[in-house]
Structure 1
């Protein structure tokens, strides 16, 4: 038992730092995100979008459950590092299979994914059984849900692509339902979110690092493609627009959302619930939006002054809107008073209007991409001005309707929680 104790982090530790082995582990998922992005680029269409969505959700689910694991375990210990490296190797196999996952490499993808989820979870059960028995029992239920989904993953890999899509959709649906029903199983019962309490700062930092991974993938694609194509006015402007869009996304997530999320999860009595809602689920549309927007950037760089196809409009404006909707949900979950940020709501309306314009006016990809980047920048500037005393400290006027909405939100929040502070809900 003493040997297992040293493999587990101190559950009472207030701040758990991210270990270098975790950063090294994330490198595989830079590759995985790139693979999903390229898959979507080469399979534009309704079926390809669903296929890419399933592959992305599998990648995210494998990464996020490993992030939970390293939150509980001590990565400085050799046995834990060995587990991380084994998951890393299986993740490499899974990622390498993505381009042909709905073809001849489906079985490689399925076996790698099932091995990641079941192997890591059962290893955690073994470690925690005598150290944190309630957590061990919860993890045994988690493993049970992965056992339920495994036949769909493996069976789907053995059939044709159309049926594979249905079976893999069923597999991912089973796994995503698990946390929502507290991993309830016959005989074993159900867990509670308090059973799997986490270090809030560590979970927030790990999720933020994955956002960096996703944004970095977009920068890599832009830089690699820009270095290969002919440099002219259109391509240079397209590269600048792609970079500006990435910066705006970074600002929208990190300037307010990330820091407020850390503070919220660290001070919440049920950190497991916050980690599930805010970081396991709410981050899905954020990362997905970044990936889809990166696909649009690549398309824009290749043909900046051509005709904006419906696929490009969907990726460019849809990716930005998906990212914005995800950050809005994340900020709602991690804010006192559970109120929606007005800047994001208005931004989503503007994205909808921009989509109508793009379909009717037949603009160039560069024009559509510029609008998407500008709308994200507007939301970033608006939110910055609503926090840190941004407008007030600099003597800038606050629009009347913004102030009235902020006052209304503060009144609603105060009715729910007397501890609400004005700067916390004006975004």
Structure 2
């Protein structure tokens, strides 16, 4: 059935971008579950070590998703064989996701095997699909496969180990995977790739990453709604619930009111879309998505004990979520639109000012304070965009 490959690459037309297909959206459902698993794991292990382990797993989850995003940017998901690849990746992703809460316990090997199967298996598929149709990208995937094979050995070795050794080996694996794109996947005998080699359809990748932001924000609403439904009604609970919802809306507004569309337009028109895809979407979206995940944990803490004492751990989580999000969006705007949003910097300063005051507030009030700062940033950005629009209309 698949003995001879035809060209499975997307057909591109000038001034058009590929819509996100239903199979891509179906694939993303696994990562809705993954985000939920990660936020619950962090909530259950709210210690420095728990945060480190959850952070490492978060990096792995993001990495396997963004690599698949690159693949569907090149390959046509409507082709049956590409669709079968996506479904196989879905199955492996579901196995990986189910193992997340116990990845540093009894299910480390399951996590490692599922992750490596996705990373290496997908790259081997690309070698098969590209070998007669795109020599430059075929060589690129020879390099990628070599790097993923090396990192895969550390993932598997970590799965076979325990405790601190597992964390160390998986840390090396993450370092290898995350450094490889910035090093051009340099491989002996094959040299290195350049961003010009990565022929990216910018609008499609921008839309895919925007949808992942929606997935993460949806998870915060899921956590908030599920927790609120199980709690007795009180002023503190309602206050924390309202603040959590407002924060989610503000985060959506900050990213989607203008930044996502402007970034997509700049991306599509760039002379070097591979550089933007690597920096703004592969790397810089990490703190942005992490901010949403940590905010979801903060929302659950505030809902569970709205009128209690804010301990140091709760204060860190409630402040770190919005801070990570604003920092990530600031970097994203700086790279994709060459703007430095001063509103984001003001928001980060406001969070820093709140930090020494946090333990004197209740969780509900701290949640209200951080939500208010996010709303102020969103409002400032909207007003700034509208002033720019009026100036552009009135300009001769």
Tell me the TM-score range normalised by the shorter chain: over 0.9
Q: Deviations over 1:288-326 (max 9, x none)?
A: 000000000011111101011111111111110000000
Please name the residue that 1:291 is paired with: 293
Alignment of 1:115-126 (within 5 A): 115-126=117-128
Indicate whether 1:371 and 2:369 are aligned: yes
| Partner Cα separation in structure 1 for residue 393 and residue 328 of structure 2 | 23
Instruction: State the shift of 1:272 in Å.
Output: 1.1
Q: Is the 8 A contact 1:32 1:59 kept in 2?
A: yes
Looking at structure 2, the residues matched to 3 and 374 of structure 1 have their Cα atoms a distance apart, in angstroms, of 59
Aligned to 2:386: 388
Check whether the contact 1:6–1:74 (CA below 8 A) recurs between aligned residues.
no
Aligned-pair distance for 1:386? 0.5
Match of residue 347 from structure 1: 347
Q: State the match for 1:409 in structure 2.
A: none
Q: How does 1:150-161 map to 2 (within 5 A)?
A: 150-161=152-163
Q: Which of 251, 259, 273 is 2:275 aligned to?
A: 273
Could you tell me how far apart the structure 1 residues matched to 2:273 and 2:92 are?
Answer: 29
| Match 2:49 to one of 47, 57, 62 | 47
Q: Give the structure 2 partner of residue 10 of structure 1.
A: 11
Provide the rounded CA distance (Å) in 1 between the counterparts of 2:26 and 2:357: 44
In structure 1, the partner of 2:198 is 196
CA-based RMSD of the aligned residues comes to 1.8
Q: Distance in 2 between matches of 1:64 and 1:6?
A: 23
- In the alignment, structure 1 residue 67 sits paired with structure 2 residue 65: no
Residues 233-283 of structure 1: per-residue CA shift (max 9 Å, x gap): 211111111000000000011112101111111000111111111100010
CA distance in 1, matches of 2:309, 2:393: 46
Residue matched to 2:164? 162
Q: Residue in 1 aligned with 2:302?
A: 300
Alpha-carbon distance, 1:78 to partner: 0.8
Task: Note the 1:51-200 alignment, pairs <5 A.
Answer: 51-200=53-202
CA distance in 1, matches of 2:12, 2:131: 15
Give 1:328's match in structure 2, choosing from 327, 330, 337. Answer: 330
Task: Give the Å deviation of 1:4.
Answer: 3.6
How much has 1:139 moved relative to structure 2? 1.3
Deviations 1:115-171 (A, max 9, x none): 000001110111112111101111111111111111211111111121111111111
TM score, norm. by length of structure 2: 0.96
Which residue among 206, 209, 215 is the counterpart of 2:208? 206
Is there any run of 5+ residues in structure 2 with no aligned partner, and where?
none
> How far apart in 1 are the matches of 2:124 and 2:37?
28
For 2:74 and 2:85, how far apart are their aligned partners in 1? 13
How far apart in 1 are the matches of 2:247 and 2:18?
A: 32
Q: Secondary structure at the match of 1:165?
A: helix
Asked if structure 2 preserves the Cα contact closer than 8 Å seen for 1:384 and 1:390, the reply is no
Partner-residue secondary structure (3-state), 2:232: coil
Say which SS state the counterpart of residue 207 (structure 1) adopts: helix
Cα separation, 1, equivalents of 2:218 and 2:302: 18
Q: What's the counterpart of residue 21 of structure 1?
A: 23
- How do 1:305-316 residues align onto structure 2 when only pairs under 5 Å count? 305-316=307-318
Q: 1:11 to 1:390 in 2, by over 3 A?
A: closer
> Aligned equivalents of 2:118 and 2:12: distance in 1?
24
1:94·1:113 contact (CA, 8 Å) conserved in 2? yes
Distance 1:332 1:2, change over 3 A: farther
Query: Relative to structure 1, is the Cα distance of residues 385 and 160 closer, same or farther in structure 2, using a 3 angstrom cutoff?
Result: same
